[in-house]
Amino acid sequence: MWVFSAAGCRWLGAAGALAVTAGGWTAGALPVRGGAGLWQPRGTALTTAGAILAYLGLTLLLAAWWQYGRLLRAGASGDRTLATLGWWAGPLVLAPPLHSADVYSYIAQGAMVLEGHDVYGAGPSVLAPGELGADAAASVGGHWTDTPAPYGPAFLVLAEAVVKLTGGSVVPAVLGMRLVALGALALLVWAVRGLGGGPGALWLAALNPLLLVHVVAGTHNDGLMIALLLTGVLLAVRGRWVLGSAVVGLAATVKSPAVLGLLFIGVLVARRRGGAGGVVRGLVLPGAVAAAVAAGATLLAGTGFGWLRTQSVAATIHTALSATSDLGLGLGLLVADDPGPVKGVVQQLGLVAAAAIVAMVAWRAWRGRIDPVLGLGISLLALVALSPMVQPWYVLWGTCVVAAVAWDGRLGRSLAVLCGALTYETAPSGHTPWYGFVLAALALGAGLWLSRVDLPSMAGASAAIPGQRRDLRVVDRA
């Protein structure tokens, strides 16, 4: 049937994206005020109808994405993959914020910098009604209203620039932040292709509905962090490890998990140099370069070094996807009147376990037993799985890295199933309803079943063996 062809997938996904956008105009994460008559609640009936339309569109987009991946595995031409990405992402550009209200925090924090507030000492609630960004601050989720920014200075400077250019008006500012997200998407595509990833890698990394929903429609800054991280790794793979370390340092001034990239750039350097001297060089020099860049960016931004102390603020918010937080809370309720201390201990143990996994993977990469780029992806996934706070889009950190080198390996296929399921976890409004988990569970079951059906045709996929890709030895060139 035509609908199962690559062209059919392109049209089906575009129709799904259009439905998601149309539904979002009544059921998205609409601003409390400042919607300029465009983005505002329009009654319960229209909100419900919009949510149903958005979920139906999301299902069409997921079905098109999954079938497109099957075609690529079967050897279909992927020369229209970038066009497909444009067809699927294009309709989302003019949507209101979807599946998250975080963009309002970004705008409010940019306004705080512009208005002279300490963005690392207070939350968006400090913005007075007459100040820039006050309308956006009114739409910030309850958990984040009084929470200092956990983001680095590079991202806050971008948010400040958007607020300055748009005057803080909600609709133009959201669209401005979306342009930043689209730039990140373009950079991500370039980096994935540069690392040797073909259409299949782009399928898992860029066409991924979880990324389209949360980076393009939801404008999460994770997309920018991932794009800069992959760019830095690509530069290191090409031998320009000093510049690569600098770019990863810049990525860390967006969100701090990017620092893991420095460890694996260090592995590349150590493998090239060899011996104890190579190990010391790999462990010290990339970090020193990145630290210098981060310090310089902080001084130029003028926001101060408070971002170094606010990295743990997110851990104070309980999310159901965090296994260590759920386990800690459950144990705490069983053994103590106040579950907080027990929960905190379990969360810390989770981070220790994540650090041990990262160290083991880095050692295996240094010994040549695993591709360093793949090792970075696995490490990011381990960090997310054992973190005290986990959001659905955090899975993209490691998924995009894994996609570049092993999109059709066992891990890549598993991540595709997981991403498809997590796309349902949050509602278009940004809330996390109970039925979101039900839909995610159903999607997970369907994905696992479809993966088993497709497994025989994938058994010989060379991408499942990272060592067959290419040698990633770094050339000692700055």
pLDDT, one tens digit per residue, over 418-433 is 999 999 999 999 999 9
Structure tokens at 340: 């907080």
Side-chain-side CA neighbours of residue 10 (13 Å): 13
Give the DSSP letter of residue 240: B
Res 265: pLDDT: 96
Positive or negative torsion for Cα 98, 102, 105, 110: negative
Res 435: pLDDT: 94
For residues 462 and 71, what is the distance between their CA atoms, to the nearest angstrom?
Answer: 16
Provide the percentage of residues in the chain whose pLDDT is more than 90. Answer: 79
| Average pLDDT over the chain, rounded to an integer | 91
For residues 419 and 397, what is the distance between their CA atoms, to the nearest angstrom?
Answer: 11
Res 457: pLDDT: 44
Does position 350 have pLDDT exceeding 50, yes or no? yes
What phi and psi, each to the nearest 5 degrees, are found at residue 207? -80, -5
User: Cα 383 vs. chain centroid, distance in angstroms?
Assistant: 13
- Report the chain's C-alpha Rg in angstroms: 22
pLDDT confidence tier of residue 453, bands split at 50, 70 and 90: low
What are 227-280's pLDDT values in tens digits?
A: 999 999 999 999 999 999 999 999 999 999 999 999 999 999 998 877 778 888
What are 36-55's pLDDT values in tens digits?
A: 888 888 889 999 999 999 99
Res 60: pLDDT: 97
Res 119: pLDDT: 94
Which whole number is the average pLDDT over 303-322? 86
Burial class (CB in 10 A: 0-12, 13-18, 19+), 434: exposed
Res 130: pLDDT: 84
Does position 289 have pLDDT exceeding 80, yes or no? yes
pLDDT confidence tier of residue 331, bands split at 50, 70 and 90: very high
132-141, 186-195, 416-425, 456-465: segment of lowest average pLDDT: 456-465
What phi and psi, each to the nearest 5 degrees, are found at residue 34? 90, 15
Res 99: pLDDT: 96
Q: Which residue has the tokens 């989720």?
A: 141
**pTM attached to this predicted model:** 0.93
CB 203 within 8 A of CB 407: yes
Does position 308 have pLDDT exceeding 80, yes or no? yes
Res 475: pLDDT: 41
What are 197-217's pLDDT values in tens digits?
A: 999 999 999 999 999 999 999
pLDDT confidence tier of residue 461, bands split at 50, 70 and 90: very low
Strand partners for 477 = 240
Residues in the chain: 478
Does position 466 have pLDDT exceeding 90, yes or no? no
Res 2: pLDDT: 67
Res 252: pLDDT: 97
Structure tokens at 179: 């342009």
User: Cα 12 vs. chain centroid, distance in angstroms?
Assistant: 25
Does position 438 have pLDDT exceeding 70, yes or no? yes
Which whole number is the average pLDDT over 391-418? 95
Does position 459 have pLDDT exceeding 70, yes or no? no
295: Cβ–Cβ under 8 A, 6 or more apart, which residues? Answer: none
Provide the percentage of residues in the chain whose pLDDT is more than 70. Answer: 94
What phi and psi, each to the nearest 5 degrees, are found at residue 116? 90, 15
Res 281: pLDDT: 85
Strand, helix or coil for residue 473: coil
Does position 123 have pLDDT exceeding 90, yes or no? yes
